[in-house]
C-alpha cells in the first residue's frame, strides 16, 4: 500500500504547521468520528474550526458553512468527507491559503494529493491525527 504522508510530514503537520485546524464535516453529531478526533485535537492544543453546511457551533467553536467563509487564517484542513468530495475540499484549502491538508482514514484521492502537493502544501492522506498525535511523545 502506498503511504501518503511519511512520519516526517505527519510530525511536521502535527507539531510545526500551526494550531488552527478547520475540520470539514464536523457537526454536533457526537457519534461521528470527526467529533472524537476534534476533541483529541483540542486536548493537544489545537483550535478546531467546524466546517459543515449547517455552520453549527461545535466544542465551543463557531462553525462555518465553507472554508471560504472562515474570516481568519487556517493552518490545516482536516477532511472528513467521502473521497468523491475530498478533492474539491483540498482545492478550496489551497485557495484559502492553508498550509496543509489532512485526509482522514479511508479518504483517498490521489489526483487531489498530487495537486495539493504541487501547490506547495504538506499533505497526509488515509491517516487519523487522533491516532498519530499521541505517538509523537
pLDDT tens-digit readout, 78-116: 999 999 999 999 999 999 999 999 999 999 999 999 999
- The pLDDT value recorded for residue 6 is 85
pLDDT band at 1 (very low <50, low <70, confident <90, very high): very low
Q: How many residues are there in the chain?
A: 137
Q: Report the mean per-residue pLDDT for the chain.
A: 94
Mean pLDDT of 106-132: 95
Which residues touch 60 (CB under 8 Å, ≥6 apart)? none
- The pLDDT value recorded for residue 95 is 98
- The pLDDT value recorded for residue 136 is 86
What is the spatial distance between Cα 40 and Cα 80, in angstroms, rounded to a whole number?
Answer: 15
- The pLDDT value recorded for residue 5 is 78
One DSSP character per residue, 37-102 reads: HHHHHHHTTPEEEEE-TT---BTTB--BSSGGG-SS--SEEEE-S-HHHHHHHHHHHHHTT-SEEE
Q: What percent of the chain has pLDDT over 90?
A: 92
- What does the pLDDT look like over 38-55, one tens digit per residue? 999 999 999 999 999 999
- The pLDDT value recorded for residue 25 is 96
pTM of the model: 0.95
Amino acid at each position: 500500500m502506498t503511504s501518503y504522508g511519511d512520519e516526517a510530514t505527519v510530525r511536521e503537520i502535527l507539531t510545526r504547521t500551526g494550531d488552527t485546524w478547520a475540520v470539514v464535516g464536523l457537526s454536533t453529531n457526537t457519534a461521528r468520528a470527526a467529533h472524537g478526533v476534534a476533541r483529541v485535537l483540542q486536548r493537544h492544543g489545537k483550535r478546531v474550526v467546524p466546517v459543515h453546511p449547517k455552520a453549527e457551533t461545535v466544542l465551543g467553536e463557531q462553525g462555518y458553512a465553507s472554508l471560504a467563509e472562515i474570516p481568519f487564517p487556517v493552518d490545516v484542513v482536516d477532511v472528513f468527507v467521502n473521497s468523491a468530495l475530498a478533492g474539491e475540499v483540498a482545492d478550496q484549502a489551497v485557495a484559502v491559503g492553508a498550509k496543509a491538508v489532512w485526509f482522514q482514514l479511508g479518504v483517498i484521492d490521489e489526483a487531489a494529493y498530487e495537486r495539493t502537493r504541487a501547490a506547495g502544501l504538506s499533505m497526509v492522506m488515509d491517516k487519523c491525527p487522533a491516532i498519530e498525535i499521541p505517538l509523537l511523545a
